[in-house]
């Protein structure tokens, strides 16, 4: 494989644990900014800036993030909602005093709050191009801070949550582990103290607006206002706890102690817990009530002088307008050449996610810790007991990736880090019930398009979930199967053209599983940018994912096929109604009616037509499996009419025969497949053979002859990658205002350009964007077809853009030649796991 290395992945070997940081981890000097980070394409889209690190927290449990600057700034504690804010009172700090030397103390972020608070604190110096003060490294779910050139001791903080492949318990836990390693490389003792402070934010993470108005953004997408109760700490209080050798603080609210009876605890109510270990070799100090909105001197004065705290026990509740925090500090002395490890556990218990008023779900972790919101200490205690085993489990399931000698580090890094979205993408994971014994799961399409599990996007972006947590993957597809027969006649206006449409037609495959302000899994088709009832790829996408999820999880779960079969039949029959000329293939309508939803396709299209043929093949394969089932193999209460089943298969075969007779002849131009039969466009569409990728993936008959597929791949590579990137740096691009340095690295594959790499329409949106997930999907397809060098070349280009351009841990849907991006924290880029699947023949990664 290509050994290009588009990002800097070499952590500094400061402390002994630095050697344990995998060489493939992404790294960046602490606090060093970006010269030219990507910026958002549209002002209405979210752009938090480049300071993002690997998230902490279990799937659907709420999560938080600590950036390469050292600040805690990413707050997804409220299910499906996003807050990006440096909360200075939530922080680590270090005190150091060598024997007979001066003391120094730093809060371990390179930038303090911008509101003027905590002015008494000394902030850690940021790295510069000339001098590194340390390195942040990340290989999700683990990340590390290694500090250098400031302190005499060598400090490393490893942080992680128990994200374990194939695990449906610990992976849901709301906990972050921080293990500090302090090493003394000098010839004299050094006293070190490590402090963890935390503001009591109980009650903050819920929307003040219980029925926010849904409006249409300037790009045609629906949105609603989110007003968290940020800073509203009235009734919050903190307690010091001594639990044998475990000590720390819990952060609570008076309301959370009131028994809600049969009602769920109010959203945002619950607990935080800070925990460490008391033993004879260390001193532990605490402060249960300090003011994080002040100058911070009430905490910093003692800590900066001697590394201790006042041991103040004050559990008075905060008054209106008052904010409070708690803190614990561990002080110890390390002798020359010695090393000490200090663990800190941060846990939270906010058991309820509220969507629209009255629609509440318990989170998956409550199946193991209860639902009263008073389990944070128990969660932290569990973490303290098991974190070594959790880390070993993470290392074990990642080992086949990390230790693979023929894969470049950048590929390993991108593969593992792109899983971040399963935590940070507004993920939901509900408590188990009889219907869903492992709960229901969902991830947002992205933070700008806040609706769950967009089916066209997850056709590419669900491979990580499929390979690592297959039961969660199948729960998502079951939710679509349940939704397909249903109708929702609610009228609404379509953002793209202002036309009127109903929300959901019976048997139409929904685009998504709903949004955080309504009722996910039940109220589907939230997006109204396009009329998704008219989309020509969604039914095919559904059928292909049903068969894929069955086949690639062992081909044994026939009950899953039974659960989905009725919806398979309904979705295909509905899609066939768009075959207006009776040739077997549904036509595109001239509106953007597929995943490229700003791109008009007319008549039979290469993209949708190929997916249709692949879906028919998949449906026939599913039907034959059902025919082979003995009567006692069917779930209790479920029966199949063999005559009706055979009639369905005969119908699908008839449609398939018709479609195959049309597809190639109608679309083939001698080198590749035309965009469609009706627009007259000469654009080379990069993803024209997605259907072929899926038939090969599932062992089904090819959509097109292999020679034609190879010719199409070579045409796409030449036009959409080689020539497009050449065009971007040439005179014609500069005339369009595209200022791209001649030595700039390649962007990746554009969605659709003319054969010479130029745009058909310089003002077009989707055709000229480089879609990160589409590129990874293309790479998987090209690998299938034997184009390894080209596949890894485009993958390296996109990984390099993400992780060198300040887009890490917020990977967007699209990047452009103008150094802009669109739709951050996107689901589709997890298609990089399709590349893994093709290379390894879908070998699972699990903890045994």
What confidence score (pLDDT) does residue 9 get? Answer: 39
**Mean pLDDT across 275-286:** 97
What confidence score (pLDDT) does residue 19 get? Answer: 63
Q: What is the β-pairing status of strands 820-822 and 39-40?
A: parallel
Q: Using one digit for the tens of pLDDT, what is the confidence trace for 199-258?
A: 999 999 999 999 999 888 877 788 999 999 999 999 999 999 999 999 999 999 999 888
What confidence score (pLDDT) does residue 630 get? Answer: 83
Assess whether pLDDT exceeds 70 at residue 847. Answer: no
Query: Any idea what the Cα angle at residue 532 is, between residues 526 and 535, rounded to 5°?
Result: 155
Burial (Cβ within 10 Å: 0-12, 13-18, ≥19) of residue 789: exposed
> DSSP readout, 573-638?
HHHHTT-TTSSSSPPEESS--SSSTTS--EESBHHHHHHHHHHHHHHHHHHHHHHT--GGGSPTT-
**pTM, two decimal places:** 0.96
Number of neighbours of residue 323 by Cβ within 10 angstroms: 20
Backbone torsion region of residue 27, taken as left when φ is above 0, otherwise alpha when ψ lies between -120 and 50, otherwise beta = beta
Cα-based distances in Å from 624 to 65, 281, 610, 765: 48, 67, 22, 42
Assess whether pLDDT exceeds 80 at residue 98. Answer: yes
Assess whether pLDDT exceeds 70 at residue 382. Answer: yes
Task: Give the separation between CA 767 and CA 417, rounded to whole angstroms.
Answer: 27
Assess whether pLDDT exceeds 90 at residue 733. Answer: no
Q: Using one digit for the tens of pLDDT, what is the confidence trace for 121-162?
A: 999 999 999 999 999 999 999 999 999 999 999 999 999 999
What confidence score (pLDDT) does residue 103 get? Answer: 97
Task: Give the separation between CA 230 and CA 75, rounded to whole angstroms.
Answer: 11
Helix (H, G, I), strand (E, B) or coil at 255: helix
Task: Give the separation between CA 296 and CA 747, rounded to whole angstroms.
Answer: 45
Assess whether pLDDT exceeds 50 at residue 193. Answer: yes
- Check if the beta carbon of residue 365 is closer than 8 Å to that of residue 374: no
DSSP 8-state assignment for residue 544: H
Assess whether pLDDT exceeds 50 at residue 3. Answer: no
Q: Which of 673, 684, 674 is nearest to 754 (CA)?
A: 684
Element (H, E) at 479: helix 470-483
Q: Using one digit for the tens of pLDDT, what is the confidence trace for 60-90?
A: 999 999 999 999 999 999 999 999 999 999 9
HSE-up (13 A, CA, CB side) for residue 49: 13
Q: Which residue has the tokens 């009602």?
A: 263
**Mean pLDDT across 292-307:** 97
Helix (H, G, I), strand (E, B) or coil at 819: coil
Task: Give the separation between CA 154 and CA 183, rounded to whole angstroms.
Answer: 5
Q: Using one digit for the tens of pLDDT, what is the confidence trace for 18-60?
A: 668 999 999 999 999 999 999 999 988 999 999 999 999 999 9
Task: Give the separation between CA 498 and CA 531, rounded to whole angstroms.
Answer: 10
Enumerate residues 6+ apart whose C-beta is below 8 A from 523: 488, 514, 515
Cis peptide before 156 (omega within 30 of 0): no
Assess whether pLDDT exceeds 50 at residue 195. Answer: yes
Number of neighbours of residue 497 by Cβ within 10 angstroms: 13
Task: Give the separation between CA 141 and CA 176, rounded to whole angstroms.
Answer: 10
What confidence score (pLDDT) does residue 15 get? Answer: 54
Look at 214-218, 251-255, 318-322, 690-694 and tell me which has the smallest mean pLDDT: 214-218
Q: Using one digit for the tens of pLDDT, what is the confidence trace for 483-513?
A: 999 999 999 999 888 899 999 999 999 999 9
Note the Cα 207 to chain centre separation in Å. Answer: 22
What confidence score (pLDDT) does residue 13 get? Answer: 39
3-state secondary structure 117-136: CCCCCCECCCCCCCCCCEEE
DSSP 8-state assignment for residue 18: G
Q: Using one digit for the tens of pLDDT, what is the confidence trace for 603-644?
A: 999 999 999 999 999 999 999 999 999 877 788 778 778 999
Q: Which of 803, 711, 847 is nearest to 136 (CA)?
A: 803
3-state secondary structure 729-761: CCHHHHHCCCCCCCCCCCCCCCCEECCCCCCCC
Assess whether pLDDT exceeds 90 at residue 804. Answer: yes
Helix (H, G, I), strand (E, B) or coil at 46: coil
């Amino acid at each position: 494989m290509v050994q290009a290395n588009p990002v800097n992945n070499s952590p500094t070997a400061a402390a002994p644990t630095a050697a344990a940081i995998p060489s493939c981890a992404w790294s960046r000097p602490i606090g060093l900014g970006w010269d030219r980070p990507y910026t958002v394409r549209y002002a209405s889209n979210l752009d938090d800036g480049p300071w993002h690190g690997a998230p902490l927290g279990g799937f659907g449990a709420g999560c938080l993030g600590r950036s390469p600057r050292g600040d805690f700034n990413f707050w997804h504690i409220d299910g499906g909602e996003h807050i990006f804010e440096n909360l200075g009172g939530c922080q680590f700090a270090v005190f150091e005093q060598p024997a007979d030397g001066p003391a120094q103390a730093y809060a371990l972020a390179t930038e303090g709050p911008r509101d003027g608070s905590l002015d008494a604190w000394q902030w850690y110096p940021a790295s510069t191009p000339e001098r590194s003060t340390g390195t942040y490294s990340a290989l999700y779910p683990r990340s590390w801070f290694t500090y250098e050139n400031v302190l005499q001791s060598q400090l490393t903080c490893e942080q992680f949550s128990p994200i374990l492949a194939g695990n449906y318990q610990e992976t849901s836990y709301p906990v972050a582990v921080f293990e500090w390693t302090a090493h003394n490389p000098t010839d004299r003792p050094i006293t070190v103290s490590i402090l963890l402070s935390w503001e009591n934010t109980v009650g903050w993470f819920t929307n003040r607006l219980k029925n926010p108005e849904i409006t249409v953004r300037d790009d045609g997408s629906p949105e609603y206002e989110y007003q968290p109760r940020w800073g509203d700490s009235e009734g919050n209080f903190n307690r010091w706890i001594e639990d044998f050798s475990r000590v720390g603080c819990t952060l609570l609210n008076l309301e959370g102690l009131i028994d809600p009876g049969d009602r769920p605890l109010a959203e945002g109510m619950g607990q935080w817990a800070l925990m460490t270990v008391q033993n004879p070799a260390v001193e532990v100090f605490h402060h249960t009530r300090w003011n994080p909105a002040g100058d911070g001197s009430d905490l910093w004065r003692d800590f900066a002088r001697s590394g201790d705290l006042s041991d103040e026990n004050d559990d008075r509740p905060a008054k209106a307008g008052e904010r409070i925090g708690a803190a614990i500090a561990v002080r110890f002395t390390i002798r020359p050449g010695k090393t000490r490890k200090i663990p800190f556990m941060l846990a939270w218990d906010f058991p309820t996610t509220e969507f629209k008023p009255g629609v509440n779900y318990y989170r998956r972790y409550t199946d193991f810790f209860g639902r009263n919101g008073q389990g944070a200490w128990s969660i932290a205690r569990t973490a303290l007991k098991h974190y070594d085993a959790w880390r070993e489990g993470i290392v074990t399931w990642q080992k086949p990736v990390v230790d693979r000698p023929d894969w470049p580090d950048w590929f390993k890094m991108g593969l593992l880090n792109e899983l971040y979205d399963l935590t940070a993408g507004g993920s939901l994971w509900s408590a188990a019930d009889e219907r869903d014994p492992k709960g229901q799961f969902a991830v947002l399409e992205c933070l700008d398009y806040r609706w769950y599990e967009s089916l066209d996007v997850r056709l590419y972006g669900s491979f990580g979930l499929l390979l690592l947590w297959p039961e969660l993957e199948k729960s998502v597809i079951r939710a679509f199967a349940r939704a397909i027969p249903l109708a929702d006649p609610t009228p609404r206006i379509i953002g793209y053209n202002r036309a009127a449409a109903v929300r959901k037609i019976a048997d139409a495959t929904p685009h998504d599983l709903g949004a955080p302000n309504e009722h996910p899994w039940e109220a589907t088709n939230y997006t109204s940018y396009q009329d998704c009832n008219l989309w020509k790829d969604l039914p095919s996408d559904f059928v292909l994912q049903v068969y894929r999820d069955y086949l690639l999880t062992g081909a044994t779960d026939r009950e899953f096929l039974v659960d989905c079969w009725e919806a398979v039949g309904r979705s295909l029959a509905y899609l066939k109604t768009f075959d207006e000329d009776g040739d077997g293939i549904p036509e595109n309508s001239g509106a953007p009616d597929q995943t490229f939803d700003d791109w008009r396709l007319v008549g039979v299209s290469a993209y949708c037509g190929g997916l249709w043929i692949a879906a028919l093949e998949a449906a026939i394969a599913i039907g034959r499996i059902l025919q082979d089932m003995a009567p006692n193999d069917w779930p209790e209460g479920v029966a199949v009419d063999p005559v009706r089943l055979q009639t369905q298969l005969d119908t699908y075969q008839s449609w398939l025969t018709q479609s195959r007779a049309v597809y190639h002849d109608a679309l083939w131009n001698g080198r590749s497949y035309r965009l469609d039969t009706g627009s007259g466009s000469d654009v080379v569409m990069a993803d024209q053979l997605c259907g072929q990728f899926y038939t090969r993936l599932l062992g089904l008959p090819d959509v097109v002859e292999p020679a034609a597929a190879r010719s199409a791949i070579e045409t796409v590579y030449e036009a959409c990658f080689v020539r497009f990137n050449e065009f971007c740096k040439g005179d014609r691009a500069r005339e369009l205002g595209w200022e791209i340095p001649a030595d700039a690295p390649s962007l990746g594959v554009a969605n659709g350009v003319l054969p010479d790499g130029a745009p058909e329409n310089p003002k077009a949106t989707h055709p000229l964007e480089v879609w990160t997930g589409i590129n990874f999907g293309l790479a998987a397809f090209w690998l299938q077809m034997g184009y390894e060098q080209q596949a890894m070349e485009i993958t390296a280009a996109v990984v390099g853009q993400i992780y060198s351009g300040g887009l890490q841990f917020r990977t967007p849907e699209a990047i452009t030649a103008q150094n802009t991006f669109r739709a951050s924290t996107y689901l589709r880029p997890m298609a990089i796991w399709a590349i893994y699947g093709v290379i390894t023949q879908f070998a699972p990664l699990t903890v045994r």
